[in-house]
Amino acid sequence: MTGQIIINYEEVYSKLATLRNHIESEVRDMNNSYRQANFAINRMDGRTNALISETMLANQRKSQVTADTVTKLLMFINDSTRQVERGEQAISRIFDSSMMRTARPMRA
């Protein structure tokens, strides 16, 4: 059928959940890597090591903010998709109801 947009909502929700899980996993891995690197750096002396630690912490925070932003966007897409799905279902019910009324035989 040309001119129609067909959305597989379950596939959309599944993909969004997969992406959220992937982001959470990446953030956990990132935090573990930062902890390990910080542990190694903190065992050393010197101003350079302090600057490296400070820079790594700032980058970790930026990465977390980015991950949080992407997660919020995925949640927004999920919520928007649910609204579209509900609207589509409501339109379908109205259309089906209208078709049922016009399909009934008229009484004289």
Give the global pTM.
Answer: 0.67
Q: What is the pLDDT of residue 2?
A: 64
Q: What is the pLDDT of residue 48?
A: 79
**Residue in 13, 5, 11 with CA at minimum distance from that of residue 79:** 13
Q: What is the pLDDT of residue 76?
A: 96
Q: What is the pLDDT of residue 9?
A: 92
Low-confidence ranges of the chain (pLDDT < 50): none
**Are the beta carbons of 23 and 71 closer than 8 angstroms?**
yes
DSSP 102: H
Distance of CA 76 to the CA centre of its chain: 7
